[in-house]
Structure 1
């Protein structure tokens, strides 16, 4: 049986060399504990200081009932964070032969976070936020079959994160009424979905509170200056090289990306 460290090393090597993997490189975890053990081993290879923030993803209801959690987290590294240009397109980087998805999100930047964040409520978490932005998670992995493995496959591989695109700043009071944070997602000019941030269970602040608890559970903590990307508002949309993707937040701005293989 492959160990957590061995799987983490194989995933890290595939990301570093931009090499696609036909299948998960080892035994797919069957529990959250095993999945996060691999993620934690991967973080050890990069170092905690390299983490710019965390992404929050959703666990499908059938799997959530079995696992006891309806969300999951993954680290976003400093080298993978870019600012959306005021005009033109951002680069949405894909692994050639891997898997990729476009996700429109709200990213919140943290000020001072208390040490005792594990039992945080959404209301407590709101007090940590010093900035908010429209954002796009560049979801992706060198593992071609990762979408079929769902959360237990995604968690080990950086939570299926391949970068973060940070867009226009939001007024903080918009977080208090997530119905106002509406987004329309388009791919190649065709509307794929539209929804408000209130569609996320409990809204973005519930995702932030979850991130604090989950990061603590793996022996780490959220830190001032880090961000948390709070979940895919309109869903997880598969993309391929050459496609043009838009996250249109209306009056709050639009992030436009071109999917390319690096």
Structure 2
């Protein structure tokens, strides 16, 4: 079953097309456990021709916590989908027409060095030496399946964590001295959400979770990997042709143009 689901999602992504239902048998039956979901994710990564260049991190929603007993989940970010726009430029980010598409303001961490294998008890304090830099950022979430999020974390994990882009913006040079950053997201000029980044429990906690999860999977992080650490102002649906702007108080802003993913 893992191979069938992975093949269906990767084929749809490669072709730039949507799919009408979760490709299980029976249809719309998401993986029931974390182990099953990550098995599908691993099979899909093995099929994808691009290199994994980082990871997205998201919280497991409360209603699903009993079924999927992890605080967070991860999904791969591929090299071609890491965007580093020059100052003032707008990142061009594709999404799947007819599928799921959203933007999320996030803090992005760039990993300083390869991480040791086997350690599975990382904390937010432990990971600080592995932070090369911290940046304002945006995750572009997109899947060929419009209802992916509705099916829960098992479905999200299985389809690359619902990721199709990480925008790495300006560096936050004084992140060690900063406790919080206020953030606001706009779509086509209209404010759609506000929030606050709490550096230690948020981004650093997300990095610790990613290290622990990858170690449990028998892998490690590499120098230069980008970690998109979780949404700050909400998950904001967006359509092809729309633009978003993400303002990080005292740190700068990022702009994203949404384009159509091609085959």
- Following the alignment from structure 1 to structure 2, what is the Cα–Cα distance between the partners of residues 116 and 182? 36
Name the SS of the counterpart of 2:125 in structure 1. Answer: helix
Partner of 1:121: 123
User: Over the residues paired in the alignment, what is the CA RMSD in angstroms?
Assistant: 1.7
Distance 1:175 1:247, change over 3 A: farther
TM-score (norm 1): 0.92
Shift of 1:192: 1.3
Shift of 1:114: 2.3
Shift of 1:258: 1.7
Deviations 1:82-113 (A, max 9, x none): 11232242213111111111011111111222
Distance 1:45 1:175, change over 3 A: farther
Name the SS of the counterpart of 1:87 in structure 2. Answer: coil
Q: In the TM superposition, what are the counterparts of 1:1-262 in structure 2 within 5 Å?
A: 3-26=1-24, 27-46=29-48, 50-112=51-113, 113-171=115-173, 173-179=174-180, 181-198=181-198, 202-262=201-261
- Following the alignment from structure 2 to structure 1, what is the Cα–Cα distance between the partners of residues 259 and 250? 28
- Following the alignment from structure 1 to structure 2, what is the Cα–Cα distance between the partners of residues 7 and 175? 42
- Following the alignment from structure 2 to structure 1, what is the Cα–Cα distance between the partners of residues 179 and 216? 27
- Following the alignment from structure 1 to structure 2, what is the Cα–Cα distance between the partners of residues 89 and 100? 18
Deviations 1:147-205 (A, max 9, x none): 2112111100100000111111111x4255331x221111111111111112x892211
The answer for unaligned runs of 5 or more in structure 2 is none
Say whether the 8 Å CA contact 2:94–2:260 is kept in structure 1.
Answer: yes
Name the SS of the counterpart of 2:127 in structure 1. Answer: helix
Shift of 1:16: 0.5
- Following the alignment from structure 1 to structure 2, what is the Cα–Cα distance between the partners of residues 72 and 256? 26
Shift of 1:217: 2.0
**How many residue pairs end up in the alignment?**
256
The answer for unaligned runs of 5 or more in structure 1 is none
Name the SS of the counterpart of 1:43 in structure 2. Answer: helix
Name the SS of the counterpart of 2:117 in structure 1. Answer: coil
- Following the alignment from structure 1 to structure 2, what is the Cα–Cα distance between the partners of residues 192 and 139? 16
- Following the alignment from structure 1 to structure 2, what is the Cα–Cα distance between the partners of residues 194 and 240? 20
Name the SS of the counterpart of 1:248 in structure 2. Answer: strand
Say whether the 8 Å CA contact 2:37–2:157 is kept in structure 1.
Answer: yes
TM-score (norm 2): 0.92
